[in-house]
Amino acid sequence: MAWDKKISKNLLLIIVAIIVATSLLIIGLVLILVHVKTVGTETTIDYTQCKDEYAPDYTCDVQVSKKRMPHCVCYTIITLSEPILGPVTVYYELPDYDQTRPEYVTSKDDEQLAGNLSSVISPNCGNNSYADTEGKKPIAPCGEIADSMFKDQYTLFYNGSIVPSFNTGLNGITEEDKKKYRNPPNGDLQAAFKDFEKPKSWEKKVTLLDPLDPNNNAFQNERFIAWMKTDMKRKPAFRINQTGIFEDGLFAGSYKFRVIYLPSNYITGPRIAVISSMHTVVNNGQLITGILLMLIVISSTSPNGAPFGEVELIANALVTISLIESKSLPGLSTEFDNIPWDGDSNAEGLLQREKENISIDVTAPGSDSEDDVIREGGSQVEPQPLTVGSAGSSSMITRRVDSARPVTSPTPGESDEERIMEAESGSQNEPAEEPTFRSKE
């Protein structure tokens, strides 16, 4: 039973330690993983029915749908109640336009988009392969995706001045994306595309998408690449140039958002612009806490690691509660466990002291040796005189108790003096250290 109780306590300690270590490990990992997060701030502008700047009685959607003019200009006033920290990007969304239709997704010529221009167009481009004009020139870029490209143009004003912006470095456009869209290698875009026509729904040729920046023109135009990515629902238009008073982004206040509203044979639903900022926030407190928890787990589970003091306390408390409920105490495994005894109180006391790891040395008083005292849990106890011989004289007996000597049960009715004398007579036959007697003055 004694060993079973010990095993149960150790097993419980191990289980609790594993649970605590696992919990700390999980918490530490979570804190480390989430200490860096992206925080977003955005303002949405639905300009679908914005009024014509030059004919306020009409909305731009009506103006362009009835083809009263090639395009419509409108604006809306937006108020930012709080700053939008940089980097800031202006996106557009077309909620009712589906770019995921199977026949739509494949309607392009990948070889052409990679810069390999040819008069032979991929059959994937279908009705958007050749122009309807005389000569039937091939279209570049061909296909329905390119033909339906959304081209509304935005400008942001603050206090009557244009907020500076960039058309490159747009969010969502990766280097891998750019590798799929390359201009012809000769470098002269006008010469390279002279034998090709613009898409049917476009107002100008592909070489005029960004004539001021050759690296962002034609097939390499980032806004064009974003449109060709049919899996991208929110597409970037431009990003704010963080310079001057806009070094930190857009501060709170009123802005004028101007739109050049272009007609489209494909877009009939809402047109939405989104001013958005996504920036990274680092929580160093969470990072440090997570690392500390990980270090605690590692050091505590290593061979030389310190035990979990809290875990041991919990385990001891649980074992104590279980023992109280069962009204039993754990036995101690010592060399005395198998010794028969008759219940004599003196023998019980000796056995109990030995079980509590009490080391007993009885020596003559006045000695400077470490063994000259009785040690009990680190405290020193003065040796007590034992009466030996005739009455009126007393001596101090010095003998090291040999724990290897068998301990016999006392005879019932035998006095303490008789037991001492019997021990004296028995020790004379052993080559052990002789007893020393000192007369008490």
- pLDDT tens digits for range 43-101: 999 999 999 999 999 999 999 888 777 889 999 999 999 999 889 999 999 999 999 99
Q: pLDDT digit string (tens) for 232-246?
A: 999 999 999 999 999
More confident residue, 178 or 291: 178
Q: Say how far residue 169 (Cα) sits from the centre of its chain.
A: 29
Distance CA 257, CA 277 (A): 17
Sorting pLDDT into bands at 50, 70 and 90, what band is 289?
A: confident
pTM of the full predicted structure? 0.59
Query: Sorting pLDDT into bands at 50, 70 and 90, what band is 178?
Result: very high
Q: Cα–Cα distance between 229 and 236 in angstroms, integer?
A: 11
Give residue 246's pLDDT.
94
Strands (DSSP E) found in 56-169: 72-80, 84-85, 88-93, 153-158, 161-162, 165-166
Q: What pLDDT was estimated at residue 23?
A: 82
- For the cut 80, the answer to whether the pLDDT of residue 218 exceeds it is yes
DSSP per-residue codes, 154-211: EEEEETTEEPPEESSS-TT--HHHHHT----TTS-HHHHTTT-BPPTT-SS-GGGSST
**Residue 328 β-bridge partners:** none
In sign, the C-alpha dihedral spanning 93, 96, 101, 105 is negative
CA 241, CA 86: separation in Å to the nearest integer? 9
How many angstroms separate the CA atoms of 10 and 3, rounded? 10
pLDDT band at 325 (very low <50, low <70, confident <90, very high): very low
Q: Grade residue 123 by pLDDT with cuts at 50, 70 and 90.
A: very high
Q: How far apart are CA 210 and CA 183, in angstroms?
A: 13
Tens of pLDDT, residues 387-434: 444 444 433 433 444 444 444 444 555 555 555 455 555 544 444 444
State residue 331's pLDDT score.
41
